[in-house]
Amino acid sequence: MVDESARVRVAVLGASGYAGGELVRLLLAHPRVELGHLAANESAGRTVGEVHPHLAPSPVGGWVLAPLDAAAAAERASFAFLSLPHGASATLAPALLDAGLRVVDLAGDFRLPAGAYPEWYGFEHPSPAWLEKAVYGLPELFAGDIAGASLVANPGCYPTPVALGLAPLLSAGLIGPGPIVVDGKTGLSGAGRALAEATSYAATEDSVRPYRFPKHQHTPEMERALELASGIPATVSFVPHLVPSVRGVLVTCYAPLGAGATTDSLTGCLAAAYADAPFVRVLPSGDMADTKRIRGSNLVELQAVADPRTGTAIVVGALDNLVKGAAGQAVQNMNLMAGFEQTAGLQAMAVYP
Amino acid sequence: MVDESARVRVAVLGASGYAGGELVRLLLAHPRVELGHLAANESAGRTVGEVHPHLAPSPVGGWVLAPLDAAAAAERASFAFLSLPHGASATLAPALLDAGLRVVDLAGDFRLPAGAYPEWYGFEHPSPAWLEKAVYGLPELFAGDIAGASLVANPGCYPTPVALGLAPLLSAGLIGPGPIVVDGKTGLSGAGRALAEATSYAATEDSVRPYRFPKHQHTPEMERALELASGIPATVSFVPHLVPSVRGVLVTCYAPLGAGATTDSLTGCLAAAYADAPFVRVLPSGDMADTKRIRGSNLVELQAVADPRTGTAIVVGALDNLVKGAAGQAVQNMNLMAGFEQTAGLQAMAVYP
Amino acid sequence: MVDESARVRVAVLGASGYAGGELVRLLLAHPRVELGHLAANESAGRTVGEVHPHLAPSPVGGWVLAPLDAAAAAERASFAFLSLPHGASATLAPALLDAGLRVVDLAGDFRLPAGAYPEWYGFEHPSPAWLEKAVYGLPELFAGDIAGASLVANPGCYPTPVALGLAPLLSAGLIGPGPIVVDGKTGLSGAGRALAEATSYAATEDSVRPYRFPKHQHTPEMERALELASGIPATVSFVPHLVPSVRGVLVTCYAPLGAGATTDSLTGCLAAAYADAPFVRVLPSGDMADTKRIRGSNLVELQAVADPRTGTAIVVGALDNLVKGAAGQAVQNMNLMAGFEQTAGLQAMAVYP
Amino acid sequence: MVDESARVRVAVLGASGYAGGELVRLLLAHPRVELGHLAANESAGRTVGEVHPHLAPSPVGGWVLAPLDAAAAAERASFAFLSLPHGASATLAPALLDAGLRVVDLAGDFRLPAGAYPEWYGFEHPSPAWLEKAVYGLPELFAGDIAGASLVANPGCYPTPVALGLAPLLSAGLIGPGPIVVDGKTGLSGAGRALAEATSYAATEDSVRPYRFPKHQHTPEMERALELASGIPATVSFVPHLVPSVRGVLVTCYAPLGAGATTDSLTGCLAAAYADAPFVRVLPSGDMADTKRIRGSNLVELQAVADPRTGTAIVVGALDNLVKGAAGQAVQNMNLMAGFEQTAGLQAMAVYP
């Protein structure tokens, strides 16, 4: 039962990066949200318009970003988004939760079991108790748990389409339990806002290259999400690549094809699984996934093809890494937690071309 | 006085091009619009989702585009947008108007005096009577006339920032009446959707080039808009360029600097002229106009600098050619004509980065 | 023994496409080549400078492209490059060969066994006898056969880095004989010069998408090249993708890791295999392959990484699809066939950035 | 009289930036050059291959960059290119000259009269005596002076096409002496290699914006070059813009049209002026200048159009800012100074597409 009059007062901690700016953009257009508090670390003291010139003409363009402080956030909001570098939320989120806020964390700090952090993130997790209570915020797979959660770990941009594309097929036995290959491609907004020669325009135009493999931290997250959703352990080989674009993640997944599975049965399984999911578009056979068609929207495209010659199921997923891969999915989680319509504030179509 | 409950039923004729798709995208999100009729010429019979894959998941994704027909449009709508190739509206608009619809034309068919069409558009105007009644739809300069008009000629993407940037300065005597140079840069969506090797990705990456000068049809439109708004005749030398981007027009205007005029007085004049204009952002001194910051929004950025060394006023304007340069401005005109808030359906911030 | 004074007179049949233009560019700078004949199909009668404006200032800028005709080519050249759409060389090459020319074919017409053409290319091969005599022109693996061949099938852009990257590892047992996944990314020059909305700038910027899978014709070519070079049958699942760039192919290959193999042993095996190969750069551990670094050059970069956690060998290869993936490799083959230094005319470094 | 056997031993001081890397790339392919010494400031101690990965496979890939030191350079070379930030050459060049080397400086340190440096470059010139002896290195206009010079000031990327395009027209009276507008567009390699958010890929895609106006230091250089070449004082209003590309500068110049001048007479004047200039391509009427067609080459394209309606001559010039706008022109100057063919090492056609 959706409460049509409910509203929520929201804080964004870590409002200066690309995902933080996208959160502010989406929340400004959300019919049930009031922005109460915007904070940042190094950019504290600057205005929103200075940090995000595209938001200068918005109602919050003149707001001064506050320093990161749980108590200050708690005074002005009952709900907090954390969009900080990995490692920072693990200590800040508990303070916010203790102060009574509900929290969606966009970093990787609450996505894995405690034991995985030293290997994949390079730190010992400081809040294992909260980590156990955190819910993995993939709404299409775990909506029930999300609705009642205090702390939601917003999924990574790569694991989102991988889990959505493969979990129903694993559960249905249409792909086997063997090793899975995930080849990822991302635009430069996925590399964040920090300066580096590798992310300059001159070095990026006409450049395609892999990065940080085989130890990208989204690898164990994919494996865990698949097992959480299907009950079946999965092993993933994952290589991410940077391609000359700004928004958009596309993953191409290769898995063992289940006996008798066809393009139609793979597609049909996904279509049935997401028949009621407003943000998942399962493409009809022959239509190719394309990051551009969903840019700026909260949609994810899924495409499944059987290759019986090699015994491979190929599943392609595409999304906008800053929307369904970050800020949009975070708002979708908030909607579930607050009892709003899942689609509130998220109905924009892609800005195309 | 804004009537808060009024709604309007709308037809889009020419819904298959980029501007037509942008109209549909904006109208879908407009709180007071109901889409009643979508039509196209060559694409008639195809669905919206086939023609515009990014709109496939929208409520009109399955609609079949109707053929262009005034009577059919009149049955289903009281307001029509025409987004057709130059020359087509000149005959279709009168039929719609005679059937009682109010019309915004996005082509160039109602922007110039009848005598200018053979030279600049290559055809004799078939409806000089309606042409005389048409109002030039630049809301920030001609809002009063637009509100009562039956037929509004939506301005071109280049003339919009030129007229907005120069008209107040001409009126105030801060720039002289001498010859004006306008150097324009556009992204590829401005070249339309027709196929050509020159607009292929391979030919466009790392390519900067002028086109169709010195006889681009926006030249007399700039001159006329400036004279309409300021009462002062203007002569414009205009060279447009294609640059490797998709959305965005930036114009750099060079005009004789009025005696005693400074960067501050130029900027102050523009700021005063647009103090109540919700879509015009006059940049403070030192801030550079940038097409990317307003992509997807209805905003226009204006920047003015005096160069006393050479006696030149330099005015830079930037907008998204598909929004403030086409579909967004058309919706803004409809808002004025229908008595809605000028900003209805147009408040989205830019999708950045 | 290299003959330092030898020269060859060359014809290019199919000089109007991107690969044809690249052939002319490279041959113009080749110290032992004289261009004797340039021909095309639809573009016959136009000048080189009209068809390739970047070659207008070259010595052949004013040449008129001849129609495709074996006898005319035989009058003016002793060596022919064919750069035609798939299917056209299969009938033209035999005529040239019968007239005494030696031939390098850049299409796919002589790369597969006759029986594979109906399934993968959609035609019955018209010259199975010549097909049997054709040598697969991957110089680093088959230099001996190439030197004496009359007809060389120049490899495809994707199979080149796949075969170079995997064949030595297969032969050495460092990767197992199990199924191999190849994920390919290409720029738009790989899509050719024909017009299509999908290859327009507006549709391509910020777009990443797969195409023509799982039946891309390079798939059996990869499998065959690997078996030819290693003697071990291979099964490849291949998905190619278009990314927003112009030149450059990058393949990411996932194969079963041989027992005990490490990143060092994989890298060492490749380095040893190509110690004398002037165009193969095996990257040291930690260095990431990058298409931009080799743009415009005949180099291929290979990078190998072991992921013992999942038992996967990951091999990344990068090249310029118009040079090492087409015209450059064709010239390299000609060099071997003509007894020139392998590197003649091919020593340019990348144009960077 | 060209001496066919002469060779020169060359030093590049400032080899780590984009222009420095381009110098090394061009000099490696120059038939009469031996690289003797490569030096840099902050990158001293790193290898060429580390600093310029695209040159890692070249014969100098393993060279360690030396610190900047005139004596060390003089030991290993008789000719020096300086490619340092503005201000650094003004002190280093005299030391090299005193040590007997001939010098081409790619910075702005020897392009203007001493009195102009405080205003336009922000420093007092430390070597006014050498400044007076420096020759402005635009080979098509000042070849005679260059041949005998010890110190050549290599022109800026923007002034090169402006001077080449306008000087003959000024001299012939085809354009008047009135104020000239120059609107410039550059790719990101023109912004150099230093890190800045404004030059990141995410901030640059789909962004068009002006920068550093009206006080760009190329403004007085254009005025001076025009006066040096034509004897007629010129006043230039110049606004440069960044567009999403990497290589390429395009300038659009607007000048008063001389009485009776036509597109044909403008074009004819330029064609006659450059009939013997191997790197200048005067485009026939109707052909549009395009930066992409000359990328990687030392060519400059010039296009002239008369607009009698407004009394304006429009001259468009295009070049590759790293070749004809920097390193290529520097090599061309060296060729003249050393008595080589002007085209030695510079005959490559554009890498297209």
pLDDT in tens, B91-107: 999 999 999 999 999 99
> Phi-psi bin for D314: left (phi > 0), alpha (psi -120 to 50), beta?
beta
- Say yes or no to pLDDT of C1 above 60: no
Q: Chain A residue closest to D18 (CA)?
A: A202
Q: Are residues B103 and B249 in the same domain?
A: no
Phi, psi of A186 (to 5 degrees): -135, 155
Task: Mark whether B151 and B164 lie in a shared domain.
Answer: no
Question: What whole-number distance in Å separates Cα of residue D3 and Cα of residue D208?
Answer: 48
Residue C3: which pLDDT band, with cuts at 50, 70 and 90?
low
Partners of residue B206 in chain C, C-beta under 8 Å:
246
Q: What is the pLDDT of residue D205?
A: 98
User: How many inter-chain contacts (C to D, CB under 8 Å) are there?
Assistant: 74
Helix (H, G, I), strand (E, B) or coil at B284: coil
Residue C92 lies in a domain: yes
The span from the CA of A127 to the CA of A110, in Å, is 9
Mean pLDDT across chain C, nearest whole number? 97
| Pick from A208, A214, A312: CB nearest C248 | A208
Q: Which residues of chain D have pLDDT under 50?
A: none
Question: B35 and B172: one domain?
Answer: no
Set A51, A74, A107, A157: catalytic member: A157
Q: Residue D64 domain-assigned?
A: yes
| Phi/psi of residue B94, nearest 5 degrees | -60, -35
pLDDT score for B177 = 86
Residues of C in contact with D25 (CB under 8 A): 349, 351-352
pLDDT, residue D193, reads 94
Q: Which chains touch A (3 or more CB pairs under 8 A)?
A: B, C, D
- Quick check: is B269 catalytic? no
User: Cβ C53–D281 below 8 Å, yes or no?
Assistant: no
Residues B177 and B315 reside in one and the same domain: yes
In a domain, B3, yes or no: no
Residue C350, pLDDT above cutoff 60: yes
Contact list, B310 vs chain D (CB under 8 Å): 179, 214, 235-237
Q: What are phi and psi of C115, to 5 degrees?
A: -65, -20
Separation in Å, CA of A289 to nearest CA in chain C: 6
Task: Note whether B187 contacts D202, CB cutoff 8 Å.
Answer: no
Taking residues B135-161, what's their average pLDDT? 98
CA distance D161 to chain A (A): 22
Number of domain units in chain B = 2
Examine the domain organization and report whether A225 and A330 are in the same domain: no
Question: Residue D210 and residue B310: Cβ atoms within 8 Å?
Answer: no
- Position B2 scores a pLDDT of 57
Which member of C206, C296, C353 has the closest CB to residue D351? C296
B352 in a domain, yes or no? Answer: no
Residue D177: predicted pLDDT: 86
Please write the tens of the pLDDT for every residue from C42-94.
999 999 999 999 999 999 999 999 999 999 999 999 999 999 999 999 999 99
ipTM above 0.95, yes or no: yes
B–D interface: beta-carbon pairs under 8 A = 168
Give me D279's structure tokens: 């790197």
- State the DSSP code for D327: I
pLDDT in the model for residue C5: 73
User: pLDDT of B180-227, one tens digit each?
Assistant: 999 999 999 999 999 999 999 999 999 999 999 999 999 999 999 999
* Nearest CB to D208 within list B205, B235, B291: B291
Residues contacting residue D156 through CB under 8 Å, at least 6 positions apart: D108, D111, D217, D218, D221, D325
Claim to verify: residue A46 and residue A106 sit in the same structural domain: yes
C186 shares a domain with C134: no
Show residues of chain D in contact with A22, CB under 8 Å: none
Task: Report long-range pairs for D141-146 (Cβ below 8 Å, ≥24 apart).
Answer: D141/D167, D141/D225, D141/D228, D141/D229, D142/D228, D142/D229, D143/D336, D143/D342, D146/D333, D146/D336, D146/D337
* CATH number of the domain where residue B252 is located: 3.30.360.10
Q: What is the pLDDT at residue B269?
A: 98
CATH code where residue C96 lies: 3.40.50.720
Residue-level pLDDT at B6: 81
Nearest chain A Cα distance for residue B319, angstroms: 12
- Is residue B178 very low, low, confident or very high in pLDDT (cuts 50, 70, 90)? confident
Which candidate from D54, D299, D348 shows the least CB-CB separation from C350? D54
Using CB atoms, pick whichever of C57, C351, C353 lies closest to residue D351.
C351
pLDDT, one tens digit per residue, over C5-42 is: 789 999 999 999 999 999 999 999 999 999 999 999 99
Nearest-by-CA chain C residue for A200: C353
- Residue C177: its pLDDT value, please? 86
Q: Is D122 in the same domain as D244?
A: no
- Residue A99 domain-assigned (yes or no): yes
Q: How far apart are CA C243 and CA D25, in angstroms?
A: 28
- Structural domain including D115 reads 8-155+324-338
Strands B151-153 and B209-210 come out as: unpaired
B165 and B230 assigned to the same domain: yes
pLDDT computed for residue C4 by the predictor: 66
Mean of pLDDT values over C239-252: 98
Nearest Cα residue to D180 out of D134, D219, D237: D237
Interface of B with C (CB under 8 A): 18, 187-189, 191, 193, 195-197, 199-202, 204-206, 244-246
Residue A1: pLDDT over 90:
no
How close is the nearest chain B Cα to the Cα of A41, in Å? 21
**Which tokens belong to B273?**
């002229």
User: CA–CA separation, D200 vs A190, rounded Å?
Assistant: 13
Interval C269-282: pLDDT, tens: 999 999 999 999 99
Burial zone of D87 (CB within 10 Å; 0-12 exposed, 13-18 middle, 19+ buried): middle
| Chains in contact with D, counting 3 or more C-beta pairs less than 8 Å apart as contact | A, B, C
Mean pLDDT confidence for A81-104: 97
Q: Given an 8 Å threshold on Cβ–Cβ distance, is D210 in contact with B252? A: yes
Nearest-by-Cβ selection for B200 from C199, C244, C245: C199
d(CA D108, CA A64): 41
Report helix, strand and coil shares of chain D as percent, to nearest 5: 35, 20, 45
Average pLDDT, integer, range B162-185: 97
pLDDT at D2: 57
Helices (H) and strands (E) in chain D, counts: 12, 14
pLDDT of residue A4: 66
Cβ–Cβ of B200/C197 closer than 8 Å?
no
pLDDT digits (tens, 9 = 90+) for A273-289: 999 999 999 999 999 99
Whether D351 is in a domain gets the answer no
Q: Cα distance from C62 to chain D (closest Cα, Å)?
A: 14
Mark yes or no for CB contact D199/A200 under 8 Å.
yes
Residues of B in contact with A58 (CB under 8 A): 349
pLDDT at residue B299 in the model: 98
Q: Which residue of C has its CA nearest to A209?
A: C290
Judging contacts by C-beta atoms under 8 Å, the chain D residues touching residue C21 are 352
pLDDT of residue D4: 66
Tell me: do D311 and D239 sit in the same domain. yes
Task: Describe chain B by its helix, strand, coil percentages, rounded to 5.
Answer: 35, 20, 45
Q: Using the beta-carbon criterion (under 8 Å), do A179 and C310 form an inter-chain contact?
A: yes
A220 pLDDT tier (thresholds 50, 70, 90): very high
CB-nearest to A299 from B57, B348, B350 is: B57
The verdict on a CB contact (< 8 Å) between D202 and A188 is yes
Mutation site for C-interface testing, chosen from D298, D323, D352 by largest number of C Cβ within 10 Å? D352
- A111 and A37 inside one domain: yes
What amino acid positions of D are annotated as catalytic residues? 157
Q: Which of A208, A247, A291, A319 to mutate to test the interface with C (most CBs of C within 10 A)?
A: A208
Q: What is the pLDDT of residue A177?
A: 86
pLDDT of D19-37, one tens digit each? 999 999 999 999 999 999 9
Kindly indicate the confidence band of residue A178, based on its pLDDT and cuts at 50, 70 and 90: confident
Q: What is the pLDDT of residue B222?
A: 98
Residue A5's pLDDT band (cuts 50, 70, 90): confident
Is position B347 within any domain? no
Minimal CA separation from C5 to chain A, in Å: 38
A2 in a structural domain: no
Taking contacts as CB-CB distances below 8 angstroms, the residues of chain C near A222 are: none
If you average pLDDT over every residue of chain A, what do you get? 97
- Minimal-distance CA residue of chain D relative to C20: D352
Joined together, the tokens standing for residue B322 give 């598909």
Beta carbons of C12 and C38 less than 8 angstroms apart: yes
pLDDT at residue A2, rounded to an integer: 57
Give the residue from C157, C181, C294 with the most A CB atoms within 10 Å of its CB, the best one to mutate.
Answer: C181
Nearest CB among C206, C209, C309 relative to A289 is that of C209
Do C137 and C240 share a domain, yes or no? Answer: no
Contacts with A318 from chain C: Cβ below 8 Å: 208-209
Tens of pLDDT, residues C144-153 = 999 999 999 9
Candidate list C88, C157, C180, C253, residue with the active-site label: C157
List all chains that touch chain B, counting a touch as 3 or more CB pairs closer than 8 Å.
A, C, D
